Amino acid sequence: MSADNLFSVGLQETIKKELSRYETKRSSILPILHAIQDECGWVQDQHIDSLESVYGFNRVQIKEVLTFYKAYRQEKPRKHPIQFCDNIVCCMMGAKEVMAKIERHIKTLETKHGEDAPFEMIGVPCLGVCDQAPAMLVNKDRHHKVTVDNVDQILSKYAPLT
């Protein structure tokens, strides 16, 4: 696939819209990378190549953003990524124990399914719902007041343990 048609028409329009909103290309990198990730699931090297060759972005600046922010994925995600808040408030409310339970759940599924296991967990610094800690996102679904007792029930909605 050539760089010209790597992105869908909708994504090309989004990129052009974001470019027009900012005085410099560099300022538009974050929303453009979000749009790519929303459509493709992750930001691949070919996306960076296309941004550089078609839209004239500086490759180093794109890589700086990708490696600085945890929000961007540079590897293909599993079917159901879990973003778990690991800030101090969530930890005070039992996040470490819940995260350990999730890790055991994931390892059980990895034993059964290998690389095709449906979950992966990513620690994130804050999900912005400290009053409902501990909190996590599965895909883009928010879950609040997650406990060791309810984590299996939550995850089974996405993929059964069996």
pLDDT, tens digit, 9 for 90 and up, residues 79-123: 899 999 999 999 999 999 999 999 998 998 888 888 888 999 988
pTM (predicted TM-score): 0.68
CB under 8 A, 24+ apart: contacts of 56-65:
56/25, 57/25, 57/29, 58/25, 58/26, 61/26, 61/29, 62/29, 62/33, 65/29, 65/30, 65/33
**Tokens 């350990």, located at residue:** 100
Convert the pLDDT of each residue in 125-144 to its tens digit: 889 999 999 999 998 899 99
* CA 142/CA 70 separation, integer angstroms: 18
Class of domain 80-156: alpha beta
* CA 95/CA 36 separation, integer angstroms: 31
Percent of the chain residues past pLDDT 90, beyond the cut = 69
Per-residue confidence band for 162, with pLDDT thresholds at 50, 70 and 90: low
- In what side-by-side order are the strands of the sheet with 119-124? 119-124, 80-85, 136-138, 141-143
Mean pLDDT of 39-48: 92
CA 156, 87, 69: angle at the middle one, nearest 5?
Answer: 90
The pLDDT assigned to 71 comes to 79
The pLDDT assigned to 2 comes to 45
* Two structure tokens written together for 50: 């296309």
* CA 162/CA 142 separation, integer angstroms: 24
Helix, strand, or coil (residue 123): strand
* Two structure tokens written together for 122: 């990513």
Q: Look at 35-49, 63-77, 123-137 and tell me which has the smallest mean pLDDT.
A: 63-77
> So where are the chain's domains?
3-68, 80-156
**Tokens 């409902």, located at residue:** 132
**Backbone CA torsion sign across 114, 118, 123, 124:** positive
Per-residue confidence band for 1, with pLDDT thresholds at 50, 70 and 90: very low
